[in-house]
Structure 1
Amino acid sequence: MLVAAAVCPCPPLLVPEVAAGAAPELDAARAACDEAVRTVLAARPDLIVVVGEGPVTRTHEQGARGSFRPFGVDREVRLGAAPEGAEASAHRLPLSLTVGAWLLDRAGWTGPVAGYEVEGDRSWPTNGEDGVHLAARADRVGFLVMGDGTACRSVKAPGYLDDRAEGVDASIAQALGNGDRDGFFANLDEDLARELKISGRSPWQILTAASEEDGNWRVLYEDAPYGVGYFVADRS
């Protein structure tokens, strides 16, 4: 059963070593992420599942590795401590789960953890089924859900400026604040998400299906630095 959740963005620049001189620009987002993760830890989950987009759909077990080397920093992170005697996983964490693993390490989480990498263009019914199954992996499950909004909020954004982006990001923030009461995530079109370079669609759909309606939702951060919609929210 899902007892708490944190929603965080997953740009590599969230990691100060990667951002280098630009690190202060995301201080507010970083602080909000820390607060949201603390909400999950405070619920004393038996297991934390980190959910994020990647090129394939698969589970990453505890101890899986990710790296920030592609972004110029010689640093690896683990998805929690590898169980004693466990063999190293052949699968590397995608960026979304690598940033999630970094956030959990930063928060000092030492309990059980797993990762779930999900393709961005999967259908809502399938993502919804995954959410139910992931929330049932333990009696008390916490989610750390990684994903960005549109990447088209300015002419310097990765996807250039798209007039639709600001309105879509506003709807994302509203859905995160009310637990997707109106079904926005379930109905978020995969083609639109692809055109606006949204990486959070599938992870947010998984969260929606896993959540109970009576959860307490908060949006802790909402902004578009670098022309990309970043959101931090939690659910207790």
Structure 2
Amino acid sequence: MLVAAAVCPCPPLLVPEVAAGAAPELDAARAACTDAIGVLAASRPDRLVVVGPAEQSGRGPHQQGARGSFRGFGVDLDVRLGRPGGDGTDGAPEAAAERALPTSLAVASWLLDRTDWSAAPLEGLGVGEPLAAERCIRVGGDIAALGDRVALLVMGDASACRTLKAPGYLDERAAGFDAEIARALGAADVEALKALDEELACELKAAGRAPWQVLAGAAEGAGLSGELLYEDAPYGVGYLVATWS
């Protein structure tokens, strides 16, 4: 059963080494993410599942100890998804350990390491951005059934079309789309997330759509309440931080 969830954005610029100057405009987002992960720890989960968007090579499960890297962004920085197993191994089968974490889970790994996560064992799941809503919701339900006290760390960005300099250029629909996502996350509105327009989300380059719908599937019937901790679009991309508990 899902007992808590944290929703965080996943731009590599959250990592100061990648930002090459700490990107102080993201300090508030970093602080909100730290607070959100604190809510997860306080829920006393027996398992944490980290969900984030992924390209083809990063889709599927990633076990504790799996490696990620920011070398593709010109930074000599490697991360792990949680601490390696206590038996001296990576905590993951060799084949799984060799498969690199997708960027979203690498950012999550950095956030968890920054907060010294030790509250529960964890695992990751990379989901394809084109994954249909019905499948996302079903995956979420399967995650919630993994244990008596499951927590979710959900990584994903809102639209990338908020300004002329945004990655997706300016789209007048983006602000309204992001506002509705912020409202739904802040209210823990499961039905609103389940009903997200997949086509519109794709057109607005909202990488969080599939992970948010996984969250909706996991939270169905859990009776959680939400709180929006952060909402902004410093680079023309919507970044949101919320907690459900």
- Quote the offset at 1:216 in angstroms: 1.8
- 3-state SS of paired residue (1:163): coil
What amino acid sits opposite 1:30 in the alignment? R
- 3-state SS of paired residue (1:129): helix
Partner of residue 114, structure 1: 123
| Cα RMSD, aligned residues only | 1.3
Report whether the alignment pairs 1:151 with 2:153: no
Return the alpha-carbon distance in structure 2 between the equivalents of residues 226 and 23 of structure 1: 11
Q: TM-score, normalised by structure 2?
A: 0.92
Return the alpha-carbon distance in structure 2 between the equivalents of residues 55 and 103 of structure 1: 21
Given the superposition, is the C-alpha separation of residues 132 and 39 from structure 1 closer, same or farther in structure 2, using an over 3 Å criterion?
same
Report whether the alignment pairs 1:235 with 2:235: no
Return the alpha-carbon distance in structure 2 between the equivalents of residues 197 and 204 of structure 1: 14
Report whether the alignment pairs 1:197 with 2:209: no
> Could you list the per-position Cα deviations for residues 196-222 of structure 1 after superposition, in whole angstroms to 9, with x for gaps in the alignment?
110001100010111145212000000
Q: TM-score, normalised by structure 1?
A: 0.96
Return the alpha-carbon distance in structure 2 between the equivalents of residues 81 and 105 of structure 1: 8
Return the alpha-carbon distance in structure 2 between the equivalents of residues 126 and 217 of structure 1: 24
What amino acid sits opposite 1:196 in the alignment? L
CA contact (8 A) 2:193 2:213 kept: yes
Percent of paired sites with the same residue: 57
Return the alpha-carbon distance in structure 2 between the equivalents of residues 78 and 225 of structure 1: 28
- Quote the offset at 1:184 in angstroms: 2.5
CA contact (8 A) 2:133 2:198 kept: no
- Quote the offset at 1:189 in angstroms: 2.3
Partner of residue 106, structure 2: 98
What amino acid sits opposite 1:151 in the alignment? A
Counterparts of 1:79-228 in structure 2, within 5 Å, are: 79-83=81-85, 84=87, 85=89, 86=91, 87-88=93-94, 89-110=97-118, 111-181=120-190, 183-211=191-219, 212-228=221-237
CA contact (8 A) 1:179 1:213 kept: no
Partner of residue 61, structure 2: 59
> Could you list the per-position Cα deviations for residues 128-172 of structure 1 after superposition, in whole angstroms to 9, with x for gaps in the alignment?
110011112222111000000000000000000000000000000
CA contact (8 A) 2:6 2:154 kept: yes
Partner of residue 21, structure 2: 21
Partner of residue 2, structure 1: 2
Count of aligned pairs: 235
- 3-state SS of paired residue (1:117): strand
- Quote the offset at 1:19 in angstroms: 1.2
